[in-house]
Chains A and B, each alone.
Chain A
C-alpha cells in the first residue's frame, strides 16, 4: 500500500517536473525568436571641427580698464584655439543679461551649443568683480558659474582664465590662454627678450642688449629663463630669475655655448658646446656645475630637447649626411635616428603630454613646422610659410607657436596640432623671433 502511494507521489512529481520543463522550453522557444529590430544608423567621422558658442557682451558698470572688452578677449581666445566658432550676436534684438532671460529656442535656432553671459562690477579697494555664467544650450543647463575679484590690471588675465574654463568644459582639455610666452624682438640694432601674455599683450622686457639674444627656454616651474646672449661677444648661456631679475652664467666654456634646454625636473640643462672641437650635446646642472658630455661624434649635434619623462635627449645631427633628428639616453650612449621622412628635419620639440614631436622640415626648399604623432608615427606639415622656425608647444599640447616671416619681418603664429586653425599672434612692430611657450603654471605677474 505504502509502495503504491510512493509510486503515485513519484509519478505526480515527475508529471509536474515534465510540466515545468515543457513550459520552460516553450517560453525559451518563444523568447528566443528574434526581437523586432530597431532601425540602426551608422555614422562614421564628423565634419564639425568647432563648437558653436555665443559669448554675450557683459554688463560693465565701470569703464573697462582695457581697450578690449572682456567678452572680446574671451571670444578671441576661444576662436584662436580652433576649437570654437563664435556666434555673431550683433544682430540680436535683445540679449539676455541673466540665465532666467535666456530663450533657448532663439539660441538653438542659431545653432549655439554654449552661451556665456555675465557682468563686471566695481568692488572694494578699487578691485573689480567679474561674474560669468556659462550655459549648455542643448541641454538647457548651467555649465559654469565663475566669479573673480581682481585688480583692474588683471582684467585681461581674468578673461583668459574664463576662456580656459570654457575651453576645458567643452573639450575636456585644460586651456592655455592664461599662460605666457617669451620671444626675442629686434628693433633697429637692439635685441630684447620679452615675456608677454600668450596673445602678445602685456609684454615686459626681461633683458635687452645690442648683441643678439637667442634660444629662450622656460624652466619647468616657470620661475626662470635660460637664454643665450652674445653680449660678451661670444655666445654664453645665462639663467635669469623672473621674480628677482637675478641672473647667472651657466655655461661659458671655450667656443660656443648655446641651445639650452631644461630637464623636466628643472635640475639641469642640456646645452651645446664646441668645447672639444665640434658641436656636441652636454648636460650641466642649473648652477653651472657637473658638466657631462652626452654625444661624441665627428658630426654636428645640436638643438637638444629632453623627452617629457627626462630619460632621453632628442637632438639634430648631420651624422647621417643630412640633418635629421636622433635620440640618445639622457646619460649618454649610442644615438638612434628618429626621423626618416624628408631630407632635412631639425629643431625637435616635445609636446608636454609626450604624444607629439614637432620639428622643422625642409619641404621642397620651404622650411615648415611638422608634427609627428609618436603613437602612430604619422607626420603632418602644419605651417604654410617658407622660413618657419622655433616650434613651441602650448602647455595643453593643442597648439604650436612658431616664428615665421611676413613681409620680410619676423612674426609669431600659432597652428593647432591638427593643422586646421592657424593664426598670427601679434602685429606689433619689430622683428619677432625665437618664441617659447611658458608652462601652465606661469609665474605671477
Chain B
C-alpha cells in the first residue's frame, strides 16, 4: 500500500465518522422536532351552565383558584371548622344539579354536533352541486366543441371536394379537345345511325339521357332517362338507339379516356 493510498484511506475514515455523527444528530433532532411539533388537539370547547354575568368571573373563580387557608387548629377538642365566606356565595353543586348540567351539556353538545353535521352536509351538498354544475358545464362545453368540429369538418369536406373538383378541372383542362371531339363525334354518329326519329312526336321534344361508359366502351347498366319526351315510344326509341350503338370507341390518350369514362349526358332532339 502506497503512502498516497494510506492518506486516502485516512481521509475516508474521517469522512465516514463525520457522516455517522451527522446522521446520528439528524435522527435525534428530527425525532425531537416531531415531538415538539405534535399536532395540537383539533378542538377546544368551554362549557357554560349559564350566561356569564356582568361581574368579572374572577370573584367566582377566586375561591376555587385560591382557597382560604384553613385556620390553625383550635386547642378545643371540638373545633368548628370555619366556614369560608365565599362558600356562602358559591352554591355547592348537588348531585341533581350536576346531572342536569351534564344533560344540558350533552344536549348542547349534541345540538352543536347536529349543527356541525348539518353544516357539513350543506357543505357537502354545495360541493356536490358545484361538482354537478362543473360536470354539466364540461358536457355542454364538449357538445359545443363537437358541434363546432362538425361544422368545421363539413366546411373542410366541402373545400376538399372543391379542391378535388378544381384538380379534376385542371386535369380536364389538360385533355386534348380535338381528340375528345373526335371520339365524341364517333359516339354521336353511332347513336344517330341507330335513332329512329320517326317514332318521336313531330313537336320534336328534347330528351336528356345519362350514360356511364365502362373501360371497354360498353355502357354500365341501362341508360338513365333524365328528361323524357312524354311519349313512351319515343323514350324507348332513344334508349334503344343508345343501346344499339354500343360499344363506343375510346381513345388511348389516358386523359381523354378518363374524361369519357365520366358520366355523359346525351341531349336528344330526335327530329333534328
Contacts and interface: CB of A to CB of B under 8 A. Distances in A.
Interface string A41-56: 1111111111110000
A23 B202 CA distance: 50
Interface in B228-272: 231-233, 236, 240-241, 243-244, 259-260, 262-272
Given A23-B155, A41-B266, A35 B165 contact: yes
Interface string A26-42: 11001101011011111
Interface residues on B, range: 35 or more
Contact of B193 (A30, A38, A48): A48
Contacts of B202: 373, 375-376
A373 B203 CA distance: 13
Given A45-B197, A171-B199, A36 B169 contact: yes
Interface residues of A, number: 37
A41 B195 contact: no
Given A39-B259, A139-B222, A376-B202, A49 B269 contact: no
Given A36-B169, A172-B232, A46 B162 contact: no
B82 interface: no
Contact of A43 (B155, B162, B266): B266
Contacts of B198: 46, 49, 83, 418, 420
B193 A47 contact: yes
Contacts of B262: 38-39
Give the dominant DSSP class at A's interface. Answer: loop
A39 B193 contact: no
Given A41-B187, A111-B244, A172-B233, A50 B196 contact: yes
B196 A41 contact: no
B192 A41 contact: no
A127 interface: no
Contact of B196 (A26, A51, A376): A51
Contacts of A172: 199, 231-233, 236
Contact of A41 (B193, B199, B231, B265): B265
A39 B248 CA distance: 15
Contacts of B264: 38-41
Contacts of B184: 39, 41
Contacts of B148: 19
A44 B244 contact: no
A19 B199 CA distance: 57
A47 B265 contact: no
A113 interface: yes
A45 B270 contact: yes
Contacts of A41: 184, 187-188, 264-267
Contacts of B214: none
A296 B267 CA distance: 55
Contacts of A44: 268-272
Contacts of B272: 44-46
Contacts of A187: none
B244 A39 contact: no
B102 interface: no
A48 B244 CA distance: 11
A146 interface: no
Contacts of A42: 188, 267, 269
Given A23-B155, A31-B158, A138 B267 contact: no
Contacts of B195: 43, 45-48
A49 to B, nearest CB: 6
B188 A43 contact: yes
Contacts of A40: 264-267
A40 B159 CA distance: 26
A45 B192 contact: yes
Nearest to B271: A45
Contact of A46 (B154, B187, B196, B233): B196
A38 B267 contact: no
A114 to B, nearest CB: 10
Contacts of A139: 222, 243
B111 interface: no
A119 to B, nearest CB: 27
A51 B260 CA distance: 28
Given A41-B187, A139-B243, A172-B232, A46 B265 contact: no
Interface string B151-189: 100110011011001001100000000000000100110
13 contacts: A19-B148, A31-B158, A38-B210, A40-B266, A45-B192, A45-B195, A45-B197, A46-B270, A47-B195, A48-B196, A139-B222, A172-B232, A373-B202
Interface of A: 19, 23, 26-27, 30-31, 33, 35-36, 38-52, 83, 111, 113, 138-139, 171-173, 373, 375-376, 418, 420
Q: Which 9 pairs from chain A and chain B are nearest by CB?
A: A46-B195, A172-B233, A45-B272, A46-B197, A30-B158, A138-B243, A44-B269, A38-B263, A39-B264
